[in-house]
Structure 1
Amino acid sequence: MIIVTTNDLPGFRILAVHGEVMGLTVRSRDAATSWVAGWRAIGGGEIPEFTQMLIESRMQVMGRMVEEAQRRGANAIVAMRFDANEIAQAWTEICAYGTAVTVEPIADGPGATAQSRQLASQPVPTLQPQAPAQGYAPPQMVPPMRGEVPWPPPPGPGGPPQR
């Protein structure tokens, strides 16, 4: 799954738009974490307890968003954003959203990139909408291009191999 914050994907042609997808979670802060964080706040600086909670929340909502996009048959998400709000000063809502699309790499001509030319030379799978899975997993990210880029990325919980 390719996820970008831009409205288009350089080197790729959008073939279909599957609509907005999102992942959402609402988190509460436990009393112990809030107490420790309160003491840390007196001295200023980063509050690692809250940083970790937000990292985990963002990964969870991205996983939910990716799952929704895959259910719709998409292989990319464009215009991805995060949103966060406080609810009644006790809970934090974290949302990831974007537009699910099906893309194909541009092989040659205007708009083609080195990465898209390489990906276009490999077979592209036809994605079918999937049934919801049990639980949520972090999103599968596309690694930066170094040498040969795997297309399609190998299936599995680990995602594409790191090079």
Structure 2
Amino acid sequence: MAAQTILVTTTEKIPGKNYEVIGEVFGLTTQSKNMISDFGAGLKSVVGGEIKAYTKMLHESRDKAISRLRQAAQDQGADAVVMMRFDSGSIGNDMQSVVAYGTAVRFIDEF
């Protein structure tokens, strides 16, 4: 099964599916923008407005964190991840860390 086929949901239950819990999984990435983007961000902090380079960086970070979450779930033999959440934080002045975490589960059939 390819990591992209691992279902990731923010809900606890998956309609029509029974599953057993494997355990926690997470995907983490830390990103930084270049000095030109940082300079532009500094100017925006003075005049206000969206800092598009950072918005793009956070969007890419979120996608990468989910991709790594799916890979971690696949590595544990999971079919899905339930209760997925994001957390993020700054490291220094120019780095941002994003983690996607949840519970890896394996589908089971009830007889």
Alignment TM class, shorter chain as reference: 0.7 to 0.9
1:82 paired residue among 73, 80, 86: 86
Amino acid in the other structure paired with 1:70: Q
Query: Hey, what does 1:6 align to over in structure 2?
Result: 11
CA distance in 1 between partners of 2:109 and 2:62 (Å): 28
1:42 matched to 2:46? The reply is yes
In structure 2, relative to structure 1, the CA distance for the partners of 1:39 and 1:105 (3 Å cut) is: farther
- Structure 1: gaps of 5 or more residues: 107-163
Larger radius of gyration: 1
What is the aligned-residue RMSD (CA, Å)?
A: 1.9
Instruction: Judging by fraction of residues, say which structure has more helix.
Output: 2
| Contact kept in structure 2, 1:24 and 1:61, CA below 8 Å | yes
Q: Which runs of at least 4 in structure 1 moved beyond 6 Å after TM superposition?
A: none
Instruction: Judging by fraction of residues, say which structure has more strand.
Output: 2
SS of alignment partner, residue 11 of structure 2? coil
Larger RCO (CA under 8 A, 6+ residues apart)? 2
Using the size of structure 2 for normalisation, the TM-score is 0.83
2:105 paired residue among 98, 101, 105: 101
- Structure 2: gaps of 5 or more residues: 1-5
CA distance in 1 between partners of 2:59 and 2:32 (Å): 14
Using the size of structure 1 for normalisation, the TM-score is 0.59
CA distance in 2 between partners of 1:81 and 1:25 (Å): 14
Give the drift of 1:40. Answer: 2.9
CA distance in 2 between partners of 1:32 and 1:99 (Å): 39
